[in-house]
Copies of this chain bind each other. A is one copy, B any other.
């Protein structure tokens, strides 16, 4: 046998299996009620509109030639124009040259890790944080530390005084965070920008769930606040990463990065060396569908997911024993559950699948330091309200049976 690991670069040790992806095989078992997925309900995909877009693009010889050929590493220009308008509505006035198209937001995180992180650099993330961000960054061998909250007063000098390097990069998902479902308040956002200014690190803002607000007033994004503060996107150090995976369909594999032009020009070279370009065909589909139905389609999704979130919160209140706590998200896809300290999320998952036929994701994977053993992420987007009620009831019964 070839000793493959002997040939790997040191970073390979940090590229490890994900609990979440391993659980995907369970999604096909019809007897399992699964809250494990962090994925949209395929019944809500705008399939007809996508089929119409395919037909229109491929029936026009000039469009078809462009759609199926190699294309600009930056991305399809009309799509970047649409996105510049979309970001403008979110308070981030920018042009198409401030936008790079990526294969979903995951590739944006990979590219930003590739560009910024050298082995041993410190990256600041929330605890817990999006598992995919930890995975993307891990390939570039950083250390992780916690994002500072309000009241933080560290400076580059205070880091150096302790014999440490100041942080190199920050990552936050301020709206309906994966995995907790929680949003940062405006004051928390401003404090985070203060820290990024004081410590002089670029701050990645993941806006993947931004469009999925079910209640409450929108809070300006980090990118909007930073753009206003800096006097324009060109001077902002917040890098926003968005995606159509939650609003249209994941398989378009269309995400985007919004940043100053200088940074976008460098990221275009990263894109070119990594996979040349995102499919022009799926970009053209995304552009046609977004331009036609974005607002009314996302409203349709919000109506459906709001009902499911409500069902999950109601069921948790009805069935969870004392000592179990959970978040009350205003949007997104997830409720974050904290069990009593005595319960190990991974061990409870095995029992839940076996004895209650219910699946979820244990929370440990979302912590860079593997803490949070008594936590779990429950996704509510894939099941109808009755199934959600039934799954939570079974989990509550299992917890009470101990």
Which A residues are closer than 8 A to B by beta carbons?
1-2, 4, 7-12, 15-18, 21, 24, 39-40, 42-43, 45, 47, 50-51, 54-55, 58-59, 61, 64-73, 102-104, 106-107, 110, 114-118, 121, 132, 135-136, 138-140, 168-169, 201-202, 234-235, 237, 245, 249-253, 260, 262-263, 266, 269-270, 272-282
Contact = CB atoms under 8 A, between A and B. Distances in A.
**Dominant SS at the A interface?**
helix
Nearest to A53: B54
A104 to B, nearest CB: 6
What is the oligomeric copy number?
Answer: 2
A59 to B, nearest CB: 7
B279 A106 contact: no
14 contacts: A1-B235, A4-B202, A9-B118, A11-B114, A11-B118, A17-B269, A18-B272, A21-B73, A45-B69, A50-B68, A55-B55, A106-B276, A107-B274, A251-B279
A398 B43 CA distance: 62
Contact of A273 (B15, B39, B66): B15
Contacts of A138: 273
Contacts of A61: 47
A2, A51, A270 — which one has the most chain B CB atoms within 10 A of its CB?
A: A2
A251 B281 contact: yes
A131 B245 CA distance: 32
Given A18-B269, A47-B58, A110-B275, 12 more contacts: A4-B262, A21-B272, A39-B69, A42-B69, A45-B69, A69-B251, A70-B250, A106-B274, A106-B275, A132-B273, A136-B273, A138-B273
